[in-house]
Chain A
């Protein structure tokens, strides 16, 4: 399985170089790129048969985008992000040496509309809230309870430990896992991907 990380193979390996990073990259990334995750995932899922890999693929897409942005922030962000996703997919398909021409062809016809005005702000906010809620609900019980007690009730670790009747390190574990899963579920909502052939 070619499932070793290929995040490092393109571009210069800049491990702990002095931060030659364009200022504002992180903010830009959070503002412009991360919100595209759901759409990118959909795009990748259609182009790649093994849906288990899609999250990893998406992560790699993010890494490529981030690396590029450290040199220069691309404008506009959205077409750039999809171009990266597409190139990565093509690259993968080639490397896996599988016949997936229809996958690539399909991508051409996907017609990612790049500069649509988009729904208004409140609609986005509402949708986001709905997705947050849905993500929270999909968490396993202990994780969800921990997240709720921390995020919504603002309880401390000892307080949560007491209520759950577990040791404090366990609370930490629940929270760390809950936070990660929340991010996963947030951008990977099964109800959004129903009709992906």
Chain B
């Protein structure tokens, strides 16, 4: 019947063009001249307008897939996967992204390797000895795990270590001039420049100053202890289990805030996303918020700030600015 249609119908043509416009706007740069051109195209015919609104709506909605995907990856052996039924193809798409997102390259012949994650990506490394390290967003780890010794350096970012204990070959993690020695253990190490946080979740570990820039003395940690190393020295505080659980929520792709200021929350989100939250105004920055968000939920977060505090949210390039 309709085999005489090598050319697209006008409807399909309009929809295809709408996709092209959205693509252009999506990748940018998007100037006023581009906008004017788009406006002209939209004004040229309601067919264009309708096609554009339609594709744009679904594209905007697809934002929600982000949150879903974070959760999905957590629930992989999910006992109940009803509303968020896991779709294998999507998972495959993810595996693809993750595989390509991780660089692991051999540096030299001594078995030393670099592992890194880009912004927004997490990755678990399993070493030959069975020890596991989960790298959080934007993290670089250098590791050398052999029969003769086990060492890793956290160059930047955050990592959760689950070490197979081996008294003869302690696993040593260095970062920012300190050395963490496992004594059979699960611990979290986070490094922002020269600021270092080591939190012991399970077992036992020791933190020693190991570089000229390090201060303080050797400290043995018990579960729940958090050592903060700054240029002022070492400070140990105790963390309750719920607080600890919240701080580890990134392993499930979540950020959990409890009386966090908007500035703190924004800083957390910005670790995970290329789309940055900008809060320049001090009044806005000081307001506090609680809640659970997917690490990619920048826009949801901005919506919440808008909804609760009545702040104004605008996008500026790729950034989201929250202002009074």
Flag whether A55 is at the interface (Cβ < 8 A). Answer: yes
* B274 touching A180, Cβ below 8 Å: no
B residues in contact with A48, CB < 8 Å: none
Residues of B within 8 A of A176 (CB): 16, 19-20, 22-23
Q: Are B2 and A50 in touch, CB under 8 angstroms?
A: yes
- With both beta carbons as reference points, the residue of chain A lying nearest to B23 in the complex is identified as A176
Instruction: Tell me the residues in window 260-280 of chain B with beta carbons closer than 8 Å to chain A beta carbons.
Output: 273-275
Residue contact A180 to B19, C-beta cutoff 8 Å: yes
In whole angstroms, what is the CA distance A123 to B250 when docked?
Answer: 27
Identify which of residues 157-174 in chain A touch chain B, using a CB-to-CB cut-off of 8 Å. Answer: 157, 163, 172
Q: Which of A19, A70, A172 contacts B23 (CB 8 A)?
A: A172
Query: A130–B85 Cα gap in the complex (Å)?
Result: 8
Residues of B within 8 A of A130 (CB): 83, 85
Residue of B nearest to A26 (CB): B53
Contact with B53, one of A34, A70, A184 (Cβ below 8 angstroms):
A34
Distance of A177 Cα from B55 Cα, bound (Å) = 11
Which of A19, A26, A137, A148 is the one whose CB lies under 8 Å from B97?
A: A148
Closest CB of chain B to A88's CB: distance in Å?
A: 13
Q: Is the CB of A186 within 8 A of B58?
A: yes
Secondary structure type dominating chain A contacts: helix
With contacts A150-B26, A154-B120 known, is A7 near B47, CB below 8 A? yes
- How many of B's residues come within 8 Å of A, CB to CB? 60
Please tell me if the beta carbons of B1 and A50 are within 8 angstroms of each other in the complex. yes
Q: How many residues of A contact B (CB 8 A)?
A: 60
Please give, as numbers and ranges, the residues of chain B lying within 8 Å of A59 by CB-CB distance: 11, 14-15, 47, 50-51
Instruction: Tell which of B45, B46, B50, B63 touches A151, judged by Cβ atoms closer than 8 Å.
Output: B63
Counting CB contacts under 8 A, is A193 at the interface?
A: no
Picked from B2, B23, B84, the residue with its CB within 8 Å of the CB of A1 is B2
Q: Taking A145-B96, A176-B20 as contacts, is the C-beta distance between A156 and B59 under 8 angstroms?
A: no
Query: How far is B240's CA from A147's CA once the two chains are assembled, in angstroms?
Result: 41
Question: A5 at the A/B interface (Cβ < 8 Å)?
Answer: yes
Q: List 16 A-B contacts (CB under 8 A).
A: A7-B46, A26-B49, A26-B53, A37-B54, A56-B12, A63-B46, A70-B46, A126-B83, A128-B61, A137-B89, A145-B96, A145-B97, A151-B62, A152-B69, A154-B296, A184-B15
Given A66-B49, A153-B121, A183-B58, 20 new contacts (CB under 8 A): A1-B4, A5-B10, A7-B45, A30-B57, A52-B1, A56-B10, A59-B14, A67-B46, A128-B61, A133-B87, A133-B90, A151-B65, A152-B97, A176-B20, A177-B19, A179-B19, A179-B55, A179-B58, A182-B59, A183-B59
